[in-house]
Amino acid sequence: MENKIIENYHYLESGLEYVFIKKVKAINTKYGRSINIPNVKELHEKIAFAILKNNIPLRGKELRFLRKTSGITQVDLANLLNVGQSTIANWEGKDIDQLIDHSHAYFLQQFFREKYGLSILGPSSMAKQMNDLEDVFKIAV
């Protein structure tokens, strides 16, 4: 069984259709091909950072990704927004491709930016981190 490097792997496992990992190792097993991503947690944090830095409009997909990557429950997020947990579930479920209304989206973007330290990073630090990200993956919006 031959292993190989895949360039521009379409990382659909993230739930975001526009994320591509520049290089991943594909390992053939007796059960089929397996993709080796060494540090998924770090990769997800970098994707979250890129979503927030690039002001990608928040849909249910982005909200679910940011929430899960941040380790926040739907209930806790609903309490922050003063909405029901079912509202969060609807955004992340059946309305996954629909944009979240402007006022909630703005609050959520600010909340997650604060969580990822974007509000306190200077321009040079942010630029350096984004350059580091470009070595790992790209977002094709």
Does domain 40-135 bear CATH number 1.10.3470?
A: no
> Residue 71 burial (CB < 10 Å; 0-12/13-18/19+)?
exposed
The whole-number average pLDDT for the span 81-109 is 89
Q: What is the pLDDT of residues 6-38, one digit of tens each?
A: 999 999 999 999 999 998 999 988 998 899 988
pTM for this predicted structure: 0.81
- Number of other CB atoms surrounding residue 72 within 10 Å: 16
Sorting pLDDT into bands at 50, 70 and 90, what band is 133? low
Q: What is the pLDDT of residues 31-67, one digit of tens each?
A: 988 999 888 998 999 899 888 888 888 999 999 999 9
Is 3:35 a contact under the CB 8 Å cutoff? Answer: no
- In the chain, CATH 1.10.260 sits at 40-135
Q: What are 115's two structure tokens?
A: 């969580």
Lowest mean pLDDT among 81-85, 93-97, 116-120: 116-120
